[in-house]
Amino acid sequence: MGVEQKLGDMGVVTTTLENVVNWSRTNAMWPMLFGLACCAIEMMAAQASNYDMSRFGMELMRASPRQSDLMIVAGRVSKKMGPVLRRLYDQMPEPKWVIAMGDCASCGGVFNNYAIFQGVDEVVPVDVYVAGCPPRPEALIHGVLTLYEKVKGEKFKDLAEKYG
Amino acid sequence: MTQIEEVSIDQFKHLVSERALTGETMLLNMGPQHPSTHGVLRLLLELDGEIVVNCIPDIGYLHTGIEKNMEAKTYQKAEVMTDRLDYMNPMGNNLAYVMAVEKLVDLDVPPRAQALRVILVELQRIASHLVWLGSVGLDLAAMSMFLYCFREREQILDIFELVSGQRMMTTYFRPGGVWRDVPVEFEKAVREFLKIFPKRIDEYETLLTKNPLFLDRMLGLGLLDAATALSYGVTGPTLRASGVDWDLRKARPYSGYEQYDFNVPVLTEGDTYARYLVRIQEFRESLKIIEQALNKLPFGPVRSENRKFVPPPRSEIGVSMESLIHHFKLWTEGFPAPRASVYSAIESPRGELALMLEGDGGPKPLRVHLRTPSFDNLSVLPHIVKGHLVADLVAILASIDIVLGDIDR
Ligand code: SF4
């Protein structure tokens, strides 16, 4: 099933550097081990036996932001947590991506009140929103795959502009 | 957005020892983003080398305003908030809430609904303890526990999905009963779980109970004596591991718990390991309750017939104009509750979860207040970690099983 089988004896593959780099980024994306609320439990479930995110190169959850390139905001972000979240985001090395998991992280969910940010995009830029309260693990996996599609289409030029 | 403030030591001078001011001991932040704090808890530690001198929990990173939000909603609609409170125990939160509403407006609950509630709440207790066991395993580097526990938990979530359509935030219990009757597959699914789970508990025990590495990290740590536990208001397995036989299911039975025959595991050691053992035994006791409840599950309606508080069933809406109007009014306006205040408490997987509800004659509660077990249990943490290593703090914190949604709400 590997690349050898598909290519046979050809021996040489030509592609662009961009494609190779993006492909490898999608296959070893390290999410940050960072749970906020209920959604984090479903994130754990997505990591566990039945759903097994390691199929997508994501079994390594790093507890340190400096070692991770994907932030999954799993849960509601309170006014007290917002600055901390931003600091964690700033500490992640570039290029970095953010998935807003669940209704709370996407838009505030059922908590339209004084304590909760109405969407984590008020604090950090978000690449993919996953709906649900909480989203099923399948939904999270779908969100991750959607992010992969996005990463595969990224251009170095844009990244250079984005991160300077 | 508010900025993170740089604080000087003057602000928490009174919380740390004198030695911290001279720089003899070190102040260290643990959290709010830390894999072992089980959520967004921040612990400010004062360390002498590796020994914890002081531990100051800083909570509020998940403050959601649930109580205030509930006061802005009618009694039916406020219920969805309770699911999201202690997110390991949505069914239990629902139960505490609907029991309070039923008490406030004096609403009857049919026996079948009561039994169904017991079955589901006990399943929830098992699921919650499973998450606990899995994450304790992770904290102590027993990674496979996490994989095993979540495998069994999925089975319980499948049952929840079967009855309510949602895996976690079910809102299945409603004032006056449950949302609708369980499907026919329910009994088979629960029996299947009852059949396989005892073997699985044995498996966990083979992996952990006598494992020398596990014992090293658990035995004799975080000693909590009964008097201290009681004075801090500690409840649940943490209290029962300290030798106090207090379980609301026995002491103040609700929802028909008095019909079931089960034991309340109590140990006297009061250490981290005893708390682990209590929870393992609770697995088996919960299974007993579920089995009894399932065996004598009565037939009949699952929701009260009191049309003042319970909307008419769908079948009536199609044929009766009055029912349609009534349904519409109940859902838009809600039902009025008398000017009174009630308190209802249940035994959640973490301890005594209670809800105070005050009506003001209108369709919305005037005041909702929650007594959440994790909050009180956490308050004893600074007391029991003193003098232990930082690495042991992780095990002790894990052993009192806090849920941040429960603390900050
Ligand atoms: S979206 Fe729902 S499940 Fe997720 S954090 Fe918000 S309330 Fe909890």
Q: Which residues of B touch A35 (CB under 8 A)?
A: 39
Q: Is residue B258 domain-shared with residue B300, that is, in the same domain?
A: yes
Contact B63 A136 (CB under 8 A): no
Distances (CA, A) of B225 to A118, B271, B274, B401: 44, 9, 12, 17
Per-residue pLDDT at B405: 86
Per-residue pLDDT at B3: 61
Per-residue pLDDT at B190: 92
Q: Is residue B130 part of a domain?
A: yes
CA-wise closest residue to B125 among B232, B274, B281: B281
Per-residue pLDDT at A4: 66
Per-residue pLDDT at B6: 65
Q: Is residue B130 domain-shared with residue B19, that is, in the same domain?
A: no
Q: Is residue B321 part of a domain?
A: no
CA-wise closest residue to B309 among B98, B111, B163, B113: B98
State which of B84, B167, B403 you would mutate to test the pocket of ligand 1, scoring each by most atoms of that ligand within 8 A of its C-beta.
B84
Q: How many structural domains does chain B have?
A: 2
Kindly identify which residue of chain A lies nearest to residue B146, measuring between CA atoms. Answer: A48
Cα(B212)–Cα(B389) distance, integer angstroms: 19
Q: Is residue B50 domain-shared with residue B192, that is, in the same domain?
A: no
Pairing mode, strands A97-101 and A128-130 = parallel
Report the gap between the CA of B163 and the closest CA in chain A (Å): 16
Cβ proximity of A66 and A93 under 8 Å: yes
Q: Is residue B151 part of a domain?
A: yes
What value of ipTM does the predicted structure carry? Answer: 0.85
B79 touching A (Cβ < 8 Å): no
Looking from the CA of residue A75, the nearest atom of ligand 1 is 5
Q: Is residue B26 part of a domain?
A: yes
- Chosen CATH of A30-148 out of 3.50.50.60, 3.40.50.12280, 2.40.160.40, 3.40.47.10: 3.40.50.12280
Q: Is residue B20 domain-shared with residue B146, that is, in the same domain?
A: no
Q: Is residue B86 domain-shared with residue B159, that is, in the same domain?
A: yes
Alpha carbon of B162 to ligand 1 centroid (Å): 20
Q: What is the tens place of the pLDDT at every residue in A89-131?
A: 998 888 889 999 999 889 888 888 888 889 888 899 999 999 9
Within 6 Å (CB) of ligand 1, which residues are found? A 37-39, 75-76, 102-104, 109, 133-134; B 84, 169
B223 touching A (Cβ < 8 Å): no
Per-residue pLDDT at A65: 86
Q: Mean pLDDT for each consecutive 10-residue tract of chain A (164 residues)?
A: 66 83 85 84 86 80 85 89 89 88 89 88 91 90 90 82 76
CATH number at residue B223: 1.10.645.10
Tokens of B336: 């009025």
Q: Is residue B43 domain-shared with residue B129, that is, in the same domain?
A: no
The residues of chain B scoring below 50 in pLDDT are none
Q: Is residue B153 domain-shared with residue B80, that is, in the same domain?
A: yes
- Which residue matches tokens 């592609």? A15
Residue B165 lies in domain: 66-305+335-408
Write the residue in B61, B157, B168 that is nearest to A78 by C-beta.
B61
Q: Which residues of B touch A42 (CB under 8 A)?
A: 167-168
Q: Is residue B325 part of a domain?
A: no
A83 touching B (Cβ < 8 Å): yes
Q: Whose CA is nearest to atom 2 of ligand 1?
A: A133
CA A48 remoteness from chain centre: 17
Site from B61, B85, B86 to mutate, A interface, most A CB atoms within 10 angstroms: B61
Per-residue pLDDT at B121: 93
Cβ proximity of B270 and B243 under 8 Å: yes
Q: Is residue B111 domain-shared with residue B77, that is, in the same domain?
A: yes
Write the residue in B63, B81, B153 that is nearest to A80 by C-beta.
B63
Q: Is residue B52 domain-shared with residue B75, that is, in the same domain?
A: no
Pairing mode, strands B26-30 and A128-130 = unpaired
Greatest alpha-carbon pair distance for chain A in Å reads: 64
Residues 6+ apart with CB under 8 A from B178: B113, B116, B117, B172, B302, B303
Cα(B303)–Cα(B300) distance, integer angstroms: 9
Q: Is residue B20 domain-shared with residue B107, that is, in the same domain?
A: no
Contact B64 A116 (CB under 8 A): yes
Q: Which pTM does this prediction carry?
A: 0.90
Per-residue pLDDT at B334: 86
Contact A50 B87 (CB under 8 A): no
Q: Is residue B1 part of a domain?
A: no
Per-residue pLDDT at B362: 86
Q: Identify the domain boundary among B40, B58, B76.
A: B58
Q: Is residue B315 part of a domain?
A: no
Q: What share of chain B is helix, strand, coil (3-state, %, to 5)?
A: 50, 10, 40
Q: Is residue B293 part of a domain?
A: yes
Delimit the domains of chain A by residue range.
Answer: 30-148
